[in-house]
Structure 1
Amino acid sequence: MKQISAFVLLTLALLAAPYARAQLLSGPANQSGGSQRLDRIVAVVEDGIVLQSELDQAVAQVKQQYASDPQKLPPDNVLRRQVLERLVLMRLQVQRAEQNGVHVSDQEVSQAAQNVARQNHMSIDQLRQAIQSQGMSFGAFQRQLADQIMVQRLRQGVVHDQVQVTDAEINNLLNSPAFKAGEVHLAHIQISIPSGASAQQIQQAAAKAKQAEQAIHGGMDFNAAAIRYSDAQDALDGGDLGWRRLDALPPAFTDVVKKMHGGEVTPPMRGPNAFHILKLIARRQPERKMITEYHARQIMIQPSALLTDAQAKAKAEKIYHQIVDKHADFAKLAKKDSDDDTTANIGGDMGWFPVDAWGTAVAVKLKSLNDNQVSQPFHTQGGWHILQRLGTRKADRTDEVQRQQARAAITNRKAEQAYEDFLRNLRSTSYVHILVPSLREPSDSDKASS
């Protein structure tokens, strides 16, 4: 049987199932007496709970992801605390999304499941079997998909309300040396400092960051150290940040990273809300963005209340034969007959454009034509088209692309910081009680005893 990707299962395993109830779940029968072991609540999260079975399932999925490299995982007690913290944070986000009126329809969940199946090269039935074969009901899987969609929308709402990018910011970034410095592939370890942290909590975070640094210098793989020590959302993926433009980094890190060599690791760096350790994996220089542009013209015949689709097709075929067989002037026929308001008055001229600018159907047809060749009528949502390819050229779109990249870099940087601040505040102001002592972080011990 096909296996669903471990990454997808890991992502889903870290989502909360708000409909779970302890009294409805039970463990497998024991071998001696056949009685069932009742599930237990391991954490109370506002008006919700996290069950032992949820935690066990999420931990199992993390272990599955690292089955071929288990030495990267921390000791089991540390891993369970880390996974529980992520389950708690996910539960809080789902609750906040619900409070904000975020809803997800059954159709949206069904589409999301189809997307997961397609990404894993499965049919929906194969996905269902794969999920069930790994101990999860398909209904639970769908609820977790719904939670994921809700959290994505919560993030979009937070970011939309707080992140604005001005032309002045884009211009400043384009003119900065950092923008021209290319891209870097980074991994990181983040040791967060709670909102309103006491001196003791700051010292604990600093000590944990120092432990991570010492472990790395002692030979621990950086990804393994990230899994063990980091509390960032990407910790269980080894802290990999992927490729990022240098200018997309927080300004405090830019000067440090610019001076780093491949494989180098920074000492812990104190930020406003966390200690950070960075590793530079690689860097690459920016390239010119050259694309192929097409020059074409078209005639479009659009069905209407007075012209059926069949009649529109027949009219387009008649025009096509006038052009090809009788050598009628394309531009004159476009002015006379085309229903495309944007091109008809200029003889159907579409100008120079990237191949996909006019949609997939036009792009496919353009690629099949030679210069000056006229296509037979073909159908799109707009109507029936006759297309003539006039030429191609290579165009340098570097400036345009760089401006888009600059806007995206500023947006992403602001969005990450805004949502990180939101999550930190959400966690610190919410009621969370860990019921199992071994699952509490050291900083939680005072809270638990109070």
Structure 2
Amino acid sequence: MIKTTRYFMSRCSRAGLISLVLTLLLSTAAHAERQMLDRVIAIVDDGVILQSEFDERMAEIRQRAADTGMPLPPEADLRNQLMESLIVESLQLQMAERVGIRFDDDTLNRVIADLAQSNNMSFDQYVSALESQGVYLSTRERIRKELAINEVQRGIVNRRINITDQEIENYLNSEAGRAAMSPDYLVDQILVPIPASDPPGLAAAKQDFAQQIYERAAAGDDFAQLRMIAQQSAQQQGFAVSGGELGWRKAEQLPSLFAEFVPDMRAGEVTEPVRSSNGLHIVKLSDVRGDSNRLVSQTQARHILVAPNEIRTEEQARRLINEIHQRIRDGEEFNILARQYSDDTMSVVAGGDLGWVSDGGMPPEFAAQVQHLEVGELSEPFQTSFGWHVAEVTGRREQDLSRDFQRQQAQNALRARKFDLELENWLLEIRDEAYVKFIN
């Protein structure tokens, strides 16, 4: 069932809210003949909880329990738990509103597209299904709220978590840390069986058959398609070919034969036929994740930016960058001219030096201009969305960031461990500090 919520946010003062609620209650009593469609059941700081919201959520809980066979607590406990959940949710949504956390329609559509895919439906089919149930708009609103709450939690709770260098080192040196940091391998294989009972001629024919499969796989043929072709061909010759993906596994979870060579393979690589007691294996390493080997290409460059502004037109900026370019070519110091003219406040003090930047770390339009420059080569003036530039590459290198990557992974793992406990503590704090008034 898709969860839905109707929610009302008020920017009134607390006193104004109470006055408004009392007015609404008196008005309802004075007009008892009118059917009451909704009412406020709690004031939470600057927001309210509606009866309809409570009833909707309660219906969802009961339906989910019925669908899964999950037992529910006693009625009074269930109602208290639900009210507390709605209070804490309201507090987080109000925080998101105050700090300006909002998600546009494109973001919501991407989430809905993911939901559609998980239900094996197209985007339009999924939307139509929601509309037929009358929950499309409420579903979008629920997604918007959940995204906002997640963003608030991520931003606030992560700031409360402190991870020391010693904790990172201890984790990396622990058995659990070493296991978590080790890569996962996605291995596929084709097995050509050669039992000991095969006569020499048949065994030789199977070896040739396995070699042909390897050569086609190494040439780039689709491995799964190649396995199916091999199975059909082998069946016509009177024997069976097997194999398939082993799924994501750590090195120690691989068959002992594979564990000897798979960690040394590159993603996409195919082995020549490997002999075992079962026959010949053609093994492909389809993918690797969590690999700590991080040899990264880096570029060191410096630049001068001249941007159009309120007192400098586009044409004036172009003329100035051409003048600066010529002065550099005539022998003036790049860094001195950068400090004098560059509009890039982040690099101007360093004489335009951008430091060492890994591939992909520069804006694409800037990177496209400097990627082909030789070390020491000055670019021609060029324009990006930031303005006009001249740039010079001062160095290139291959940097091993494996240790940095491992430390970042360890920090992420430790943060994930601490997040739930810190989230619980934070939610208790904001609940204790909140103003809550229940309306009977």
Task: Give the greater-gyration-radius structure (CA).
Answer: 2
